Structure 1
Amino acid sequence: MNSAVAYFSGRLAFETDVADVARGIDGVVVDARNAESWRQGHVPGAVHLPTAEIAERAAEVVGRDVEVVVYCWGPGCNGATKAALEFARLGYAVKEMIGGFEYWAREGYPVEVDGVVERRSPDPLTAPVSGVACAC
């Protein structure tokens, strides 16, 4: 296998994007941000488990037999990478949701705030305004 194939295959083994998560995954989505950030809005159905608490609380929050998908703020933040590393150290199958919550919200996927789920318009600079996925 050439080095480019190995590199990109490796990335796809441990990363997913917001469109893939929105289509549904066999696993649990974990928001690794702090409580204030969680309250500002999060992916509906996500579990809140800040990175600093993963080692201590993962077993009580997430089953061992499911894949974990972690996210943090966005591409300018490596919080999801740190959270994924914590889960990996504990032996979980884990992926990082690239783009994070920023791209989840910017692409117009549902956002939960105070128990209410709302759908916002996609940012025309980051997602097709028609609502149709880029199909990549």
Structure 2
Amino acid sequence: MNPNYNLVADRAAHRCEYCRAPEIVFNFPFEIEHIVPLYRGGNNEISNLALACRSCNLRKGTNTRGIDSTSNTEVSLFHPRENRWEENFQVQAESGAIAGMTPVGRVTVTALGMNSQPQLIARQLWIRLGLFP
């Protein structure tokens, strides 16, 4: 396990910093990921580490940017230290879908596949159980 796990997980309130999945419903700890990947010049400092569920971490990979479908411009993915989640995303309570409210939000929802069928089903259950958002 990453030696920074406790610090990063506590800071994230044990939620994925991208899709806000609650770590408590999984039978294993979430992953510590590099917001700016080492491959792209990132570092191992705490400010560059985020708690991520397996789905978000795998889909993000070394990506840091994407094309916004509305403006057709390249923008950065959501950065948990520089962007506020509430300003970029909105949860649709009935469907469980996460809507991107800004170019950053839209690109991140698409790049991380935040609204896959399994995630929507899980998110609907988490909402009913009071575990999300």
TM-score normalised over the length of structure 1: 0.25
Q: Which has more radius of gyration? A: 1
- Which one has more relative contact order, counting CA pairs under 8 Å at least 6 apart? 1
TM-score normalised over the length of structure 2: 0.26
